Amino acid sequence: AQSVTQPDIHITVSEGASLELRCNYSYGATPYLFWYVQSPGQGLQLLLKYFSGDTLVQGIKGFEAEFKRSQSSFNLRKPSVHWSDAAEYFCAVGARSSNTGKLIFGQGTTLQVKP
């Protein structure tokens, strides 16, 4: 069965510092991979996605993520965090074998930004 693990429930970084949010997945083949961001009381916004090709993908708001097949990971990074990046971040996987578009989400990582 597919699963997604985000090992860090809560992360605090200083504004201007670099950020890495971890995501590990369990799946029999290479899945589709996504990162979403959710501000309090809001829906989810797609940051970036990977489905094939270059393993380093660029997203919106200066985020990037790297797919590492050997580690079953898809970590999200940002070189310099802004206070507006404080939110909850979700990693998600979708099955290539299915055309449903159903996603499995991790538990999320809450990012706090210190001034």
Partner 1 sequence: DTGVSQNPRHKITKRGQNVTFRCDPISEHNRLYWYRQTLGQGPEFLTYFQNEAQLEKSRLLSDRFSAERPKGSFSTLEIQRTEQGDSAMYLCASSDSFMAPHYGYTFGSGTRLTVV
DSSP code string of 17-79: S-EEE--EEE-SS--EEEEEEE-TT--EEEEEEESSS-SEEE-GGG-EEEEEGGGTEEEEEES
CB of 55 to partner 1, least distance (A): 15
Q: Which of residues 95-114 bind partner 1 (CB under 8 A)?
A: 95-96, 98-108
**CA 51 to each of CA 32, 45, 93: distance values in angstroms, whole numbers, following the listed order:** 5, 18, 10
Indicate which single residue of 12, 42, 55, 71 sits in contact with partner 1 (rule: CB under 8 A).
42
Q: Which of residues 53-92 bind partner 1 (CB under 8 A)?
A: 90, 92
Give the residue with the Cβ less far from partner 1, 101 or 115: 101
Amino acid found at 35: W
Contact characters 4-33, partner 1, x per CB under 8 A: x---------------------------x-
